[in-house]
Chains A and B, each alone.
Chain A
Amino acid sequence: MADSTWVVASKRVEPRWRLRAFLRRLRSGDEIAHLTTLIFALTILLITFLLVSELWINSTLARQRFGWHFLFTRTWDPVFENFGALPFIFGTTVTSTLALLMAIPLGVGAAIFLAELAPPRISDALTFFIELLAAVPSVIYGLLGIFVVVPILRTTVMPFLKDTLGFLPLFQGHIYGFSLFAAGTVLAIMIIPFIISISREVLLAVPGEQREAALALGATKWESTWKVVVPYARVGIMGSVFLALARALGETMAVTMVIGNDTKIASSLFAPGNTIAAVIANEFTEATSDLYVHALVELGLVLFLLTIILNALARLLILATTRRGTAHV
């Protein structure tokens, strides 16, 4: 847009004149302004390149020593310098899955309510509030996790699950409170605002004709919502879920504070665990040997790649439904 409206010299002008036009613009400062802002724009590319290369270079030792086995080894032993990422990949996967299982039904349900049923004014007010919750720092969710969520889980929710579903290996074992389950719950609370606000926007972007056509065919309001509007917005809702997942994977503080930080792969959700982000936060300052640091940086690299892929996918999906710029997500 910018260029087409600002063109000064047309293409068919002789070089001599073009040079003169260039000099005139140089004198008036246009070229300098252009170059200066260009340099700062390129700085962003440089920083990103630097970020990737630093992660790559500083994980060299671990990559050379362990190769691809790093991803599939289940020992993490700083004393004998034997490092494998499997327990953390496991913990990250379990807590994120758990968070999504809890957050998707609640979040999408609430989004349907806000987009289809609630009067616009109430819907806007509630959405304003929900978007504020997305701005709450994660360390505060962690604080509340330790002193509110974990005690509630330990005294009521987890004993209840053990009594009713205790025959499943998922809900067995000693109840500590600090566990994979607690981390999943806190993550769910953190990502619900994201799912609600983006899903609502996607649902509101569904053309009114779609609803009207369904209603005209004699569908009830719920049938038009569930069989027409939601399928229409399906891809965008998936985008919001991917975005929430990317956030859950990279979330550090709230998880570190409630997961119990135990490097084991347990079958029970009640057992303490660890995630990629949490182990980096906990052990980075204690890492004494180079190999130890490089192994932690390689974990960072794995996390980086995972979230980048998820984010790219999410943006494509949301773009496909709302057909808007990528700035909003």
Chain B
Amino acid sequence: MNLRRVWRKSVNAVMFSLTALCALVSLSVLLFILGYLLWHGGKSLSWSFFTQLPKPVGETGGGMANAIVGSGKLLLLASFVGVPIGFLAGVYLAEFGGSTLSFLVRYITDLLNGVPSIVMGIFAYTVVVLPMKHFSALAGGLALGVMMIPIAVRSTEEFLRAVPQTLREGAMALGASKWRAVATVVIPAAARGILTGIILDLARVAGETAPLLFTAFGNSFWSSGWNQPTASLPVMIFTYAMSPYDDWHRQAWAAGLVLLALVLLANIGARLLLPKKALGSRG
């Protein structure tokens, strides 16, 4: 009897130590990887990375100024597509929607969220690149913009729903019409949350590479317009990492560090700005 008790106690101890070990292993692998990136990227980062164009193979130095600007342009285009659709559809779901159509829209939005990013690339390719017959920043922006929609919709809806009903009633009692109540009372009350949601959304698509490979393509120079192929940080990391040149590898590390820093800063900032409950678990 006593032996069995000891056995059960030791199983208890051993199994829980094993789970702790699992947590430790997962965390340390991930920590190691990030530390490595920080160390290696920091070593390769220099001022010229932010100011110069890429140098041709063989010459050392140079930077990725065009890719940084290109990523900015793509994100701007993506916001033009993703933010209005996502925001207004979110307002519809939270304030105006009926039950059947809202369910359908929510369901389809979730479905869209699960579409692999490479498939979004194919979509933008067939819609923009095929008719125009050349790669362009527009196509890349469209791909990223469509990817932004689901999270923009869901975060807008959630934060609007979190606004107390009494605020709406107060506005109506003062004689405001419904849209006026929504536009001047409800949306401002939820504005901080909605904005944070959109920042997180941008941070997510900022690192997307696959949908840009055959839409925005790439460019070793300044892109001359919105209608031309353009370089972007993630695609540059990909091409430089896959190349056989050591100097390009260093550049890839530097670009990786810059991209990661941007994405993580946006995420940490957003999470600190908001109470944990309100944010949900997905950013």
Whether A41 lies near B260 (C-beta < 8 A) is: no
By secondary structure, the B interface counts as helix
Set of chain A residues within 8 Å of B179, measured between Cβ atoms: 28-30, 32-34
Set of chain A residues within 8 Å of B106, measured between Cβ atoms: 326
Set of chain B residues within 8 Å of A112, measured between Cβ atoms: 19, 22
Does A321 sit at the interface, judged by CB under 8 A? no
A40, A138, A139, A296: the one contacting B89 at CB < 8 Å is A40
Whether A147 lies near B249 (C-beta < 8 A) is: yes
Cα(A257)–Cα(B252), bound, Å: 13
Cα(A28)–Cα(B172), bound, Å: 12
- Residue from A113, A137, A196 whose CB has the most chain B CB atoms within 10 Å: A137
Cα(A43)–Cα(B87), bound, Å: 12
Set of chain A residues within 8 Å of B29, measured between Cβ atoms: 189, 192
Min CB gap A33→B, angstroms? 4
Set of chain A residues within 8 Å of B149, measured between Cβ atoms: 44, 47
- Residue from B20, B23, B99, B117 whose CB has the most chain A CB atoms within 10 Å: B23
Cα(A307)–Cα(B122), bound, Å: 16
Set of chain A residues within 8 Å of B249, measured between Cβ atoms: 147
A-B pairs, top 7 by smallest CB distance, nearest first, are A137-B207, A250-B116, A109-B22, A33-B179, A311-B114, A37-B92, A28-B177
Min CB gap B127→A, angstroms? 6
Set of chain A residues within 8 Å of B238, measured between Cβ atoms: 139, 142, 253, 257
Whether A132 lies near B264 (C-beta < 8 A) is: yes
Set of chain A residues within 8 Å of B203, measured between Cβ atoms: 135
Whether A38 lies near B96 (C-beta < 8 A) is: yes
Contact-residue bracket for chain B = 35 or more
Does A315 sit at the interface, judged by CB under 8 A? yes
In this complex, what residue of A is CB-closest to B30? A133
Cα(A42)–Cα(B102), bound, Å: 10
B239-282, CB under 8 A of A: which get 1 and which 0? 00110000001001100100110011001100100001000111
Whether B89 lies near A44 (C-beta < 8 A) is: yes
Total number of A residues with any Cβ neighbor in B under 8 Å: 101
Does A262 sit at the interface, judged by CB under 8 A? no
B9, B89, B177, B263: the one contacting A136 at CB < 8 Å is B263
Does B132 sit at the interface, judged by CB under 8 A? no
Whether B108 lies near A5 (C-beta < 8 A) is: no
A110-B26, A113-B23, A143-B253 given as contacts; is B16 within 8 A of A222 (CB)? yes
Interface pairs (20), CB distance under 8 Å: A30-B177, A30-B178, A33-B178, A37-B92, A43-B85, A47-B112, A108-B22, A109-B22, A110-B26, A113-B19, A113-B20, A113-B22, A140-B207, A147-B253, A250-B116, A257-B242, A285-B213, A311-B113, A311-B114, A327-B110
Whether A281 lies near B213 (C-beta < 8 A) is: yes
A6-B178, A327-B158 given as contacts; is B267 within 8 A of A117 (CB)? no
Whether A109 lies near B260 (C-beta < 8 A) is: no
In this complex, what residue of A is CB-closest to B5? A220
A6, A28, A196, A252: the one contacting B180 at CB < 8 Å is A28
In this complex, what residue of A is CB-closest to B115? A304
A2-B97, A25-B177, A114-B23 given as contacts; is B210 within 8 A of A253 (CB)? yes
Stretch at the interface among A71-79, A122-130, A156-164: A122-130
Does A312 sit at the interface, judged by CB under 8 A? yes
Does A266 sit at the interface, judged by CB under 8 A? no
Set of chain A residues within 8 Å of B204, measured between Cβ atoms: 135
Cα(A239)–Cα(B179), bound, Å: 39
Whether B126 lies near A58 (C-beta < 8 A) is: yes
A5-B168, A40-B89 given as contacts; is B268 within 8 A of A139 (CB)? no
Does B237 sit at the interface, judged by CB under 8 A? yes
Cα(A118)–Cα(B36), bound, Å: 27
A193-B30, A252-B116, A304-B119 given as contacts; is B12 within 8 A of A43 (CB)? no
Whether A126 lies near B23 (C-beta < 8 A) is: yes
Which A residues between 85 and 138 are near B, CB-CB below 8 angstroms? 105-110, 112-114, 116-118, 124, 126, 128-133, 135-138
Whether B119 lies near A140 (C-beta < 8 A) is: no
Whether A138 lies near B207 (C-beta < 8 A) is: yes
Which A residues between 286 and 320 are near B, CB-CB below 8 angstroms? 296-297, 300, 303-304, 307-308, 310-312, 315
Knowing that A110-B23, A220-B12, A281-B210 are A-B contacts, what are 12 other residue pairs whose CB atoms are under 8 Å apart, sorted by A's residue number? Answer: A29-B180, A37-B92, A51-B120, A106-B26, A109-B22, A132-B267, A139-B238, A140-B256, A193-B30, A304-B115, A307-B115, A328-B281
- Residue from B34, B109, B116, B182 whose CB has the most chain A CB atoms within 10 Å: B116
Does A55 sit at the interface, judged by CB under 8 A? yes
Does A65 sit at the interface, judged by CB under 8 A? no
In this complex, what residue of B is CB-closest to A192? B26
Cα(A144)–Cα(B241), bound, Å: 10
Which B residues between 1 and 60 are near A, CB-CB below 8 angstroms? 8-9, 11-12, 15-16, 18-23, 25-27, 29-30, 33-34, 36-37, 40
Does A210 sit at the interface, judged by CB under 8 A? no
